[in-house]
């Protein structure tokens, strides 16, 4: 079985060697781990993957190969809690959902404070306490049009704050593109930026001109051509962006190959007072947004990549971030960035047909002065045409 696992990893473009595979087999033979799929995952990743940038690619290959294996062993265990949670996830009718009243920001935060003081035990179902599977605005696994998700996975994409530390993964910049179309679209910007006033020797023309001039040296010069375009790429990661990982990786990979001068940073949902370059160390290695603004000149093209799908509070409200209490609203930082870099655009991987149904996208479009384009070939060409002016 593990031989096929090895070839699965190789098929996923992971640089796994035979020596590393033999190390894994030796560790299993010596009984380093017990009969646990989780223990095997960590052992396999440790022995087979040497670059943490490839962890995400390994995770996807591992999941695809071993999907369902854990269900075949150890039937003596209790039924996992995750299986039981599905029973608690209510399927409410449109009328029932409409009857659940939204709370304003201040009311929501004040009510949560009271619940934390009053609640002493776990709660499932219902419409008041912090728990799972109910209609309370606090908890997860149920339904509320606007609440605070505490633990657990997202379900309805309507939480205004998330109290659950999540680990995001860097986008893979070495992904092999299935087509060259994205590169061609990005090349429009590079083509318009290839200009220069300095001269360089045109060797072929010099040889022909010298030969035609009876051997008398006739030097020919042409303007030196530079790929001068400089791109500052800010990418949304985590949450609803997980649905668009593959397409964003294609864009990221193409951008790194097309632009000689490319700098990138990550943010989550909306830009605030800091960004980061490595998702696994995003809390330890933060880059202040002010430093980014001061570091790069106005001639850098600023490109945001994100689905702009979030609570409006995350854009407009101090403390609206789902992860921490930001002192200033995201809208303030977006305006500072677009003022510092006059040539900017937003690339949205969400289908353009759903934009009109997302309040946050409408707000973001307004802040971007309608410079939002879909992540399609036509959208990319439109954005590159705008940025090249």
What confidence score (pLDDT) does residue 199 get? 60
Task: Find the range with the poorest average confidence among 1-5, 49-53, 108-112, 281-285.
Answer: 108-112
Residue with tokens 């649905």: 243
What confidence score (pLDDT) does residue 75 get? 38
In the structure encoding, which two tokens stand for residue 240, read together?
Answer: 């609803």
User: Mean pLDDT throughout 159-166?
Assistant: 48
Look at 148 and 287; give whichever has higher pLDDT: 287
Which of 154-163, 204-213, 299-308 ranks highest by mean pLDDT? 299-308
Asked if the model's pLDDT at residue 291 lies above 90, the reply is yes
Structural domain spans, the chain: 2-72, 88-163, 181-193+229-387, 196-227
What confidence score (pLDDT) does residue 147 get? 52
- Compute how many other C-beta atoms are within 10 angstroms of the C-beta atom of residue 305: 26
Asked if the model's pLDDT at residue 186 lies above 70, the reply is yes
- 194-239 pLDDT tens trace: 444 456 677 888 888 888 888 888 888 776 555 678 999 999 998 8
Which of 68-72, 112-116, 244-248 ranks highest by mean pLDDT? 244-248
> Which CATH number applies to 181-193+229-387: 3.40.1360, 1.10.20, 3.40.50, 3.40.140?
3.40.50
Q: What percent of the chain has pLDDT over 90?
A: 26
According to DSSP, residue 248 is labeled H
Going 17 to 18 to 20 to 25, the CA torsion angle's sign is: positive
Between CA 229 and CA 194 the distance in angstroms is 7
- 32-71 pLDDT tens trace: 888 777 788 889 888 998 887 788 788 888 887 776 554 4
72-80 contacts, C-beta under 8 A, 24 or more apart? 73/35, 73/37, 74/35
Look at 351 and 169; give whichever has higher pLDDT: 351
Q: What percent of the chain has pLDDT over 70?
A: 65
Across 313-331, b (16+ Cβ under 10 Å) vs e yields bbbbbeebbbbeebeebbb
137 Cβ contact list (under 8 Å, min separation 6): 103, 108, 111, 112, 144, 146, 147, 148
In the structure encoding, which two tokens stand for residue 322, read together?
Answer: 């789902």
User: Mean pLDDT throughout 127-138?
Assistant: 47
Mean pLDDT over the full length of the chain:
76
Query: In whole angstroms, how far apart are CA 64 and each of 54, 58, 59, 70, 352?
Result: 16, 10, 9, 13, 30
Residue ranges in 157-288 assigned as alpha helix (H): 181-193, 203-212, 245-258
User: Mean pLDDT throughout 100-114?
Assistant: 57
234 Cβ contact list (under 8 Å, min separation 6): 264, 265, 266, 267, 271, 275, 302, 303, 304, 305, 337
326 Cβ contact list (under 8 Å, min separation 6): 272, 273, 318, 319, 320
pLDDT band at 350 (very low <50, low <70, confident <90, very high): very high
Residue ranges in 259-329 assigned as alpha helix (H): 289-295, 313-316
pLDDT band at 153 (very low <50, low <70, confident <90, very high): low
Across 246-264, b (16+ Cβ under 10 Å) vs e yields eebbbbbbbbbebbeebeb
């Amino acid at each position: 079985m593990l031989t096929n696992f090895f070839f699965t990893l190789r098929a996923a473009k992971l640089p796994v060697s035979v020596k590393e595979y033999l190390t894994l087999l030796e560790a299993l033979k010596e009984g380093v781990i017990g009969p646990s799929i989780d223990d095997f995952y960590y052992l396999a990743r440790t022995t087979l993957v040497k670059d943490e940038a490839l962890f995400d690619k390994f995770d996807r290959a591992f999941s695809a190969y071993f999907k369902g294996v854990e269900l075949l062993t150890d039937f003596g265990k209790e039924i996992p809690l995750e299986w039981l949670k599905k029973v608690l996830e209510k399927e409410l009718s449109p009328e029932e959902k409409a009857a659940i009243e939204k709370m304003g920001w201040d009311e929501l935060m004040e009510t949560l404070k009271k619940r934390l003081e009053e609640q002493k035990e776990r709660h499932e179902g219902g419409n008041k306490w912090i728990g799972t599977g109910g209609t309370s605005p606090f908890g997860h696994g149920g339904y509320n049009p606007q609440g605070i998700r505490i633990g657990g996975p997202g379900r309805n994409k309507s939480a205004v704050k998330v109290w659950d530390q999540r680990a995001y993964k860097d986008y893979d910049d070495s992904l092999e593109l299935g087509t060259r179309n994205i590169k061609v679209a990005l090349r429009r910007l590079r083509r318009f930026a290839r200009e220069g006033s300095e001269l360089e020797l045109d060797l072929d023309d010099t040889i022909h001109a010298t030969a035609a001039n009876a051997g008398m040296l006739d030097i020919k010069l042409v303007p030196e051509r530079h790929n001068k375009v400089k791109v500052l790429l800010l990418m949304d990661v985590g949450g609803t962006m997980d649905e668009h990982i593959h397409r964003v990786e294609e864009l990221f990979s193409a951008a790194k190959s097309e632009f000689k001068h490319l700098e990138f940073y990550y943010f989550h949902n909306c830009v605030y007072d800091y960004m980061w370059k490595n998702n696994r160390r995003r809390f330890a290695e933060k880059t202040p947004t002010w430093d980014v603004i001061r570091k790069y000149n106005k001639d850098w093209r600023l490109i945001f990549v994100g689905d702009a799908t979030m609570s409006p509070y995350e854009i407009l409200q101090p403390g609206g971030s789902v992860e921490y209490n930001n002192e200033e609203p995201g809208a303030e930082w977006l305006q500072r960035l677009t003022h510092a870099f006059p040539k900017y655009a937003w690339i949205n991987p969400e289908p353009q047909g759903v934009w009109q149904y997302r309040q946050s996208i409408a707000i973001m479009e307004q802040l971007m002065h309608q410079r939002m384009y879909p992540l399609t070939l036509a959208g990319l060409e439109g954005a590159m045409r705008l940025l090249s002016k």
